[in-house]
Amino acid sequence: MRVQEGADELTKKALSEGIDPGRILNEGMVIGMERVGKKFSENKVFVPQMLMSAKAMSTAMQHIKPYFLSGSVKRKGTVIIGTVAGDLHDIGKNLVGMMIEGAGWELVDLGVDVNAEKFIAALKEKPGSAVGLSALLTTTMVNMERIVQEIRKVARDTKILIGGAPVSHEFCSKIGADFYSPDPQGAVEYLNKMVA
């Protein structure tokens, strides 16, 4: 930013001052995004401002990412992750991916707007992987359900975990996914339990 320090500069500064990366993430960035979402609901900010906020958060996340990555070479297994078809929100998915990778899993990130075919193709390349699905829109929850059904047809025993703001435990049971977590920590704990 030209006139004042932005998320990029502030994150670097906070890290250089020894502030815990977890605090920077949870007490700074995530709360900032929640505020933007609230303002969007109140028609006080619009899509361009949401985009700017997302860009700011993604840039700042690059600085804290190294702190969450473990040095262990041996991986616990593979997790294929993606935001479901029709949905372009990737900040939460990236955060979950970062934590999973940091916990010692190999991560295959398929990005956003991912359909069942792409998940299945990735599963064929890495059989036995767990799959993580993220959705932020109520309108794309139906695509999450479709993806779970299609994966079950070809790889019935695949462990499928889901998350994202509109998703719930009830929805998880309804669509036949294995696990719902409201946050990255829950997703990591579930995966780690699988190999414990």
Interface ranges with ligand B1M (CB under 6 A): 30, 33-34, 36-37, 40-41, 47, 50-51, 53-54, 86-93, 95-96, 132-134, 136-139, 161-166, 181, 183-184, 187
Q: What's the closest the beta carbon of residue 137 comes to ligand B1M, in angstroms? A: 4
Q: Which two tokens stand for residue 179?
A: 């696990």
Q: Are strands 130-134 and 179-180 parallel, antiparallel or unpaired?
A: unpaired
Nearest to 60 by CA among 87, 98, 114, 89: 98
CB of 59 to ligand B1M, least distance (A): 11
Show the CA angle centred on residue 64, arms to residues 58 and 65, nearest 5°.
Answer: 80
CB under 8 A, 24+ apart: contacts of 21-24: 21/64, 21/67, 21/68, 24/60, 24/64
Of 43 and 73, the one with the shorter C-beta distance to ligand B1M is 43
Among residues 21 and 37, whose Cβ is nearest to ligand B1M?
A: 37
Cα(105)–Cα(107) distance, rounded to whole angstroms?
A: 6
Please state the closest distance from residue 126 (CB atom) to ligand B1M, in A: 16
Q: How far is the CB of 52 from ligand B1M (least distance, A)?
A: 9
Minimum CB distance to ligand B1M smaller for 10 or for 53: 53
- Name the minimum Å distance from CB 112 to ligand B1M: 7
Residue closer to ligand B1M, measured from CB, 70 or 138: 138
Q: Radius of gyration of the chain from Cα atoms? A: 17
Cβ closest to ligand B1M, residue 10 vs residue 162 = 162
